[in-house]
Amino acid sequence: MKPVRALAAASAVFAALLSAVPAGATTPAGTAGTPSPAHVSGPASASGAHCRDYWFPVTTGPESKTVHREFGRLCTSDPAKLGKQPVQVLIHGGTYDHTYFDWPYRPERYNYVRYMTQRGFTTLSLDRLGYGHSDHPPSLALNFDTAAHTTHQIVRYLRGGALGPKFSTVVANGYSMGGLTAQVEAARYHDLDAVAVHAVGHGLLTPRSLLRLGTFVYPALLDPKFAGKPWALDPGYVTNLPGKRTLFHGPKGTYDPVQLRYEERLKDTMSVTELTDITLKSYTDLTKRIDVPVLWEPGRYDKIWCGTTDDCTTDPENAGEDRFYRPGVLTKYVVPNTGHGALLGYGGTDYLAGIVDWLAAKGIHGVR
């Protein structure tokens, strides 16, 4: 088959599998409606995979009647294997959106979606509520109970066949605030097969971490990137001050300086209520309720979560992380040669390989 005809055939299969809910499909119990194709402005996936964008209808809590749209990009290397492949739900952190996992700079090295789809996984990269293409409710509505609840609804959509195929194996991978989202979701709803987190842990309130976070942000309405956005008038939405993105990286020599230009161009916002909630949640033992394997992967030079020594191999927060989980649940791996944004440092390749190896050790393999 000629390349053009092969591409057309693959696209047709992908459209048939993803474009609509099949006749007779039902909305999973506890969800807010039916996902629909999303048509958004902005760049396509840098992964080179077959991708489709969706709106997921979600509510902020079990009693809420207001339905919001949460954006997600579903990607695979082979549309015919959707449902047969494990799906990884990718949850970004504060001041990022879904592009953290679908990074456009040197995607052959830094693009998580590319790496995982080439190894037989499906990925669903989300924009959490208040970020990216997703709806921006009042900032006071944004915390990790909300984020976990919306993620739970999306997991139900995946398992229930609302996108066509039913996904029987669902893994969450969360970065920073997204990692806390994944932890709360797994602890509360017990609907995941495994959880990987990086750049999140317990015991955030160190003096250096608080100082760094306190001098990192300012109101989004003051930033030219968000000028004209109605939600930016909400003072609870904040973003980083220009020139502060080095907070997410380790010392010089552990990252490509070009990353800083991409960081500033692609930055998003976060809410003050999330910043408050992340400090509170980092002092609970909610994670002891998680009953599936957890991979905890901080970047070695994480200036936020290992803010006592700025080195997660010596920091007391790292040393005490095990006590917040059930015996035998947690696997720890400190990613070398990178910082808080573990994927985007030079150690990102170790981070990627480590997740695939860990999933395989837990019996979760890609399907190619």
Position 203 scores a pLDDT of: 82
Q: What is the reported pLDDT for 30? A: 59
Could you say which DSSP state residue 43 is in?
P
Annotate 203-227 with b (16+ C-beta within 10 A) or e (fewer): bbebeebeebbeebbebbbebeebe
In this structure, what token pair is assigned to residue 316? 């007391």
**Predicted confidence pLDDT, tens digits, the chain (368 residues):** 333 333 333 333 333 333 333 333 344 555 678 999 999 999 999 999 999 999 999 999 999 999 999 999 999 999 999 999 999 999 999 999 999 999 999 999 999 999 999 999 999 999 999 999 999 999 999 999 999 999 999 999 999 999 999 999 999 999 999 999 999 999 999 999 999 999 998 987 778 888 898 899 999 999 999 999 999 999 999 999 999 999 999 999 999 999 999 999 999 999 999 999 988 888 889 999 999 999 999 999 999 989 889 999 999 878 889 999 999 999 999 999 999 999 999 999 999 999 999 999 999 999 99
The tokens for 61 are 């809590």
Has this prediction a pTM greater than 0.85? yes
* pLDDT at residue 17 in the model: 37
With CA atoms as reference, report the closest residue to 320 among 298, 292, 351, 342: 298
For the chain, the residue count is 368
What count of other Cβ atoms lies within 10 Å of the Cβ of residue 69?
Answer: 19
Q: Which residues contact 297 (CB under 8 A, 6 or more apart)?
A: 196, 197, 198, 332, 333, 334, 335, 342, 351, 354, 355
Contact 47, 117 (CB under 8 A): yes
Q: How far apart are the first and last CA of the chain?
A: 20
